[in-house]
Amino acid sequence: MNKIISWLVRIAVIIGMIFTMSLTLSSTISMQVSTKGLVKEAINKTASNYGVGGLAKNSWSILNALGIEDQIFDQLPKKLQVKTSYLELYDLTSSYQKEGKISASELNMPNATDSQKTVSDLVTKYINSALEQNQDDINQAISYYKMIFYVIIALYVIGMILVLFGKRFGIYPFLLASLGGYALIAFVTGQLQTQLQSEIYQGITVTMANGFNTSIVIAIIITIVWFWAATLKKHAQNKKSQKTYSGKHAAN
C-alpha cells in the first residue's frame, strides 16, 4: 500500500512539473508601441539619415493641417503588439540568425491595403536597419539565450527522471530550472526594452505575462509537497525500523 501511495505522489509531482514547464515555455512577453509614434520616428530618423530631417517634420505639419495625417493612421491599428513565448522567441531568434532580418509578418504589421503595405515596409526596414548596427552583439546574445534555454530544458527533464525514481534531491534541478527560467525571461525582458527604446523608439514597452509568476508559485508548492511527502516516508521508515528492532529485542 505504501508503495502505491509513493508512486501516486511521484506521478502527481511529475504532472505538476510538466505543467510548470509548459507554463514557463508558453507564457508570453509582449512588446507594445504606439503605431503612430513608431511610424513618425521611423520616417523622421530615416529622413535625418539622408539629411532631410527638417523637410520630414515640415511635411508632417502640412499633412496634419490638411487632415491627411489622421486618414493615414486611421487605416492602421492604434497599437502595434508583438507577443512571443520562450519557444516562439527561440524560433524568432533562429530565423533572425539565418535571415539576418525580421519580417513584417513577425512584427504583426498589417498589409491589407497599399498604404498599410507602404507603412509596413517602412517600419520593417527601419527596425532591421537599427538591428543591423548591433548585429554582432545581438547574435552573441542570441547564442547565450539558446545555450541557457537548452540547460533549462535539460534541468526540467533531469528533475522529472530523478523524481520518478524517488530521489529526494530530484526536486532541486526542477526548482533551479523554474527559478532560472523566470530569471532569464525577466533579464531578457528588461534588456530587450532598454535596447528597443535606445535603438528604435522610446515609447516601446516590454512586459511579462502573469503565467511566469504562476509557474514560480506552482514550482514552490510542488517543492513543498515533495519534501513533505519525503519527510513522511522517512518518518514511516524510521518507525518501521524501530518496531522491527523492538520486536527482535523482545524476542531475545
* Whether the predicted pLDDT of 223 surpasses 60: yes
Residue-level pLDDT at 237: 66
What is the distance between the alpha carbons of residues 230 and 232, in angstroms, rounded to a whole number?
A: 5
Overall average pLDDT of the 166-180 stretch: 91
- At 55, is the pLDDT very low, low, confident or very high (cuts 50, 70, 90)? very low
Q: In this model, does residue 20 exceed pLDDT 80?
A: yes
Q: Residue ranges of the domains in the chain?
A: 3-242
Of residues 245 and 45, more confidently modeled: 45
Give the pLDDT confidence score for residue 21 in this predicted structure.
94
Angstrom distance (rounded) from CA 158 to CA 165? 11
User: Mind listing the pLDDT tens digit for each residue in 194-204?
Assistant: 888 888 888 88
Burial (CB count <10 Å: 0-12, 13-18, 19+), residue 58: exposed
Confidence bin at 56 (pLDDT 50/70/90):
very low
User: pLDDT value at position 92?
Assistant: 85
Residue 61: pLDDT over 60: no
Q: Rounded to whole angstroms, how far apart are CA atoms 159 and 86?
A: 20
Q: Comparing 249 with 125, which gets the higher pLDDT? A: 125
Q: At what angle do helices 171-199 and 2-26 cross, to 10 degrees?
A: 10
pLDDT tens for each residue of 81-139: 888 888 888 888 888 888 888 888 887 777 777 767 877 887 888 888 888 888 888 88
Q: Which pLDDT does position 213 carry in this prediction?
A: 93
Residue 248 pLDDT more than 80? no
Q: For 134-161, what is each residue's pLDDT tens digit?
A: 888 888 888 888 898 899 999 999 999 9
Q: Which has the higher per-residue pLDDT, 250 or 210?
A: 210
Q: What percentage of the chain carries pLDDT values higher than 90? A: 23
Mean pLDDT of the chain: 81
**Pairing relation of β-strands 79-85 and 28-34?**
antiparallel
Compute the distance between CA of residue 220 and CA of residue 207 in angstroms, rounded to an integer: 23
pLDDT at 62: 47
Greater model confidence, 117 or 32: 32
